[in-house]
Amino acid sequence: MNLDRKTFLRTAVLAPAALAAGARAATAAAPAPALPAYDAREPERFWQAVRDLYPLTKDRVYLNTGGLGPASRPALDAMAATTAKLQETGEHGHGQFAGFRATVAAFLGADPAGLAFVRNATEGNATVAAGLQLQAGDEVIFDDHAHPGGSFGWYQQARLRGLTVKLFTPDPGDPATNLARIAALVTPRTRAVQVSHITAPTGIVLPVADIARLCRERGIWFHIDGAQSAGMLPFSLREIGCDSFATSGHKWLGAPHETGVLYVRPDRLDAVAPLLVGAYSGDLDFLPGEFKLAPTALRYEYGTRNVAAAAGLAAAVQLQEKVGRERIAARGRELAGRVHAGLARIAGVEVLSPTHPAASSAMVTFRSAKVPQDTMFSRLLKEHAFRCRPVTEQKINAVRVSLHVFNSPAECDRLVAATAKITGAA
C-alpha cells in the first residue's frame, strides 16, 4: 500500500471521530466575545470588536467578501454546536428548520412560506430559470455583468428549450438609465427579467423596486440575483415587490460555506417548478398514488439536509441585526468612498464603480493605465498582503475591492498607498 493510500485510509477512519471532537472543542471553547454598544464618539472601538468576531487571519487584509465572505464566530459556533448535538443523538434535526426559516425570512422582509434553504445563489437562480419552463421564442432579459451563477442557468434553458437571451449593460451613472435600458428590450415575448441586485464586476446597485414595477405592469416575471446584496444593504423583499430572489449566505452575510436561500412569492409558487423533489418536497401517502407538492417553498427542499448550516446562517443574520443593518451599509459605503476617493487621486488610475449615491455599493473596482490587472492583483497580494479579486468579465480587466465590517479606514489608506506605489505614483 503506498503512503498516500495509507494516509487516506487513516484519515477516512479517523475523520468522523475527529470531526465530532472538533465540534465538541468548538462548543466547549470560550464563547465569542460580546459586542459593546455602539458609541459614536469611539466608532473604531466598536468596529474592532466586530473584527474580533471573525477568525480571519491577521496576516493579510481580506478584501474579497464579494467573492466569498468569511464566516463570523457566532455563525461557526452555531453550526458546530448544532452538528455536535445532532451527532450525539443521530437525529437529522429537520424540526429546527422552521425557526431558522422564520429568522432569515424576517431579515429579508419575506414571508417564510416562500423561503427555501438552498446550497448557494447559483442553485436559487437556476431553479427559477429552469422552473419557469419557458418555451422556444420566449425572451429573458438580464444584465451582461451577470455572474455565471446568474447567467448560466438561463443559457442552459436557451440550449434546452430555445428561449432567447437579451442583455443590457448596466450603467454606473443614474439608475434611471438602467430602467430605460431594460424597458427598451421588452417585447410582447418577454417572459422574465433578472438583474444582479448589485453587479459583481463593478458593484453597481440596480433600481430593483423600479424594475419590479415595470415588470408588474407588463406581466413579466422579475427575479433578483441578490448574491451581492444580502448582508451588504438593508432591504425588504416585500417592499421591493419582486417575484423571486436568491442569495448566498457565504458572502456578505458571513454565514458558513454552502448556505443560501431561494425566495418565491408564496402566491406564485406554482409558476416555478422544483428541479429536484424528494422527501420533504411534498406528500405521497402510498404508491401508486397522487404526488402533491408542499404548499410552501419547502417544495424546493428535498432529502436529508444539513440543519447545522441553516443554524449558522440564522446566527449570521442575527449578528448582522446586532451590529445594525443601516450601520453595516453606512460603514461599507464610508470605507468604499475612502478607497474610491484615494484611488481616483492616483495618476493613471481609473475607478469604474459608481459615485451616484443610489448606485454605489461597498465594492470598488479600478484599473491602472500602467499596470495590467493581473500584475496589480498579484503585487497587492504578494507585496502588500491585500486579498482583492481580479475582474476579467466583459474584458473589464480591473481589480475589485470589497469593504465589509471587519475592514478599517487604516486598511483603506494602506491599500491606496500600496496601489500608488505599484503604479509608480508614490
Ligand X SMILES: Cc1ncc(COP(=O)(O)O)c(C=O)c1O
Contact residues for ligand X, defined by CB under 6 A = 67, 120-122, 147, 149-150, 196, 200, 225, 227-228, 248
Q: Between residues 103 and 196, which has the closer beta carbon with respect to ligand X?
A: 196
Cβ-contact 63, 402 below 8 angstroms: yes
Q: How far is the CB of 261 from ligand X (least distance, A)?
A: 11
Q: How far is the CB of 30 from ligand X (least distance, A)?
A: 31
Q: How far is the CB of 88 from ligand X (least distance, A)?
A: 31
Using CA atoms, how far residue 213 sits from 91, 209, 216, 218, 236, in Å, is 45, 6, 5, 9, 15
Cβ-contact 77, 31 below 8 angstroms: yes
Q: How far is the CB of 127 from ligand X (least distance, A)?
A: 12
Q: How far is the CB of 232 from ligand X (least distance, A)?
A: 11
Q: How far is the CB of 256 from ligand X (least distance, A)?
A: 12
Q: How far is the CB of 251 from ligand X (least distance, A)?
A: 7
Q: Between residues 196 and 407, which has the closer beta carbon with respect to ligand X?
A: 196
Residue number closest to ligand X, CB atom: 149
Q: Between residues 250 and 338, which has the closer beta carbon with respect to ligand X?
A: 250
Q: How far is the CB of 225 from ligand X (least distance, A)?
A: 5
Reading the block at residue 41, the C-alpha cell is 464618539
Q: Between residues 251 and 333, which has the closer beta carbon with respect to ligand X?
A: 251
